[in-house]
Amino acid sequence: MQSANAAELLAQIRVHGAIPRHVAIIMDGNGRWARERRMPRPFGHRSGMRSVREVIEGAVEVGLEVLSLFAFSQENWQRPPTEITALMSLLEEYVAREADELHERGVRVRALGALERLTPDASAAVARVVERTARNDRLTLNLFISYSARAELARAARLLAEEAARGDLDPSTVDEAAFAARLYTAACPDPDLLIRTSGEQRISNFLLWQVAYAELHVSRVLWPDFTRRDLYAAIRDFQMRERRFGRVPA
């Protein structure tokens, strides 16, 4: 499988059938990629934009329903102001450059996270691409921006508590489905496959509830070097797994 190119891997995926409905990716390694080239970290983030395009095109080609990309965490706000400014500018640039093509490819963009923390220009850019693509249905692209899974869980608990306090919800009826319905991802199936690039083996506060039964695939490729071939290799790996969800064969 390592020597197969993207087209060969795509053909193998189609033969073997079980394509994940939802793939989530922790895009890691931009800073390391830039450091290896003696360049500043924002150079790595900019280079990573090519991989975002590659993976979206690959997701459409292979037939995914949902692709979730961890673009910016709430913890990332603690980075140096110059890097944050560069990231916000890149977000605006990405929308300006890619919105029309995303729309033409039938991609519906959703932005999930504490979006109120974005700069006004970045917030406006995100709102534009979300509105532009709202009626598309070929692929749902979840961009997690200013996101924290723990904060998301706390928010869901708070929403349930507020509904109960108003008398709109009987606390005895709260179950997993009720909780999941208050998450940002309520409209999406849970990820079947979680990919992390750069070789790190951490979930990093991403989709803690939703990835409970996801298959994990760690790629040693740094994000700016990640291509659709790497996406397809992860999906082929997924297809060779036995998913039991806690059960065993009879």
Tens of pLDDT along 200-211?
999 999 999 999
Q: Check pLDDT > 80 for residue 249.
A: no
Measured N-to-C along each axis, helices 81-104 and 41-62 cross at an angle, to the nearest 10 degrees, of: 20
Residue-level pLDDT at 209: 98
Instruction: Name 29's Cβ contacts closer than 8 Å, sequence gap at least 6.
Output: 44, 197, 198, 221, 222, 223, 224
Residue-level pLDDT at 250: 59
Annotated catalytic residue, options 5, 28, 142, 230: 28
Model pLDDT for residues 30-50, shown as the tens digit of each residue? 989 999 999 988 889 999 999
Mean pLDDT of 135-146: 97
Residue-level pLDDT at 1: 47
Query: How far apart (Å, rounded) are the C-alpha atoms in residues 107 and 137?
Result: 6
Average pLDDT, the chain: 94
Residue-level pLDDT at 4: 85
Q: Check pLDDT > 70 for residue 174.
A: yes
Q: Is residue 242 very low, low, confident or very high in pLDDT (cuts 50, 70, 90)?
A: confident
90-112 as b/e, with b when 16 or more CB fall inside 10 Å? bbbebbeebbeebbebebbbbbb
76 annotated active-site: yes
Q: Check pLDDT > 70 for residue 86.
A: yes
Model pLDDT for residues 45-78, shown as the tens digit of each residue? 999 999 999 999 999 999 999 999 999 999 999 9
Query: How far apart (Å, rounded) are the C-alpha atoms in residues 143 and 206?
Result: 12
Q: Check pLDDT > 70 for residue 157.
A: yes
Query: How far apart (Å, rounded) are the C-alpha atoms in residues 214 and 191?
Result: 6
Q: Confirm or reject CATH 3.40.50.300 for domain 6-74+104-115+129-239, answering yes or no.
A: no
> How many Å from the N-terminal Cα to the C-terminal Cα in the chain?
31
State the residue for tokens 């199936």: 189
Task: Judge contact between 122 and 96, C-beta under 8 A.
Answer: no
Annotated catalytic residue, options 5, 30, 76, 100: 76
Of 5-19, 166-180, 211-225, 234-248, where does mean pLDDT reach its minimum? 234-248
Query: How far apart (Å, rounded) are the C-alpha atoms in residues 58 and 244?
Result: 27
Q: Check pLDDT > 50 for residue 243.
A: yes
Mean pLDDT of 141-164: 97
Domain ranges of the chain: 6-74+104-115+129-239
Mean pLDDT of 193-222: 97
| pTM for the model | 0.94
What's the 3-state SS for 37-55? Answer: CCCCHHHHHHHHHHHHHHH
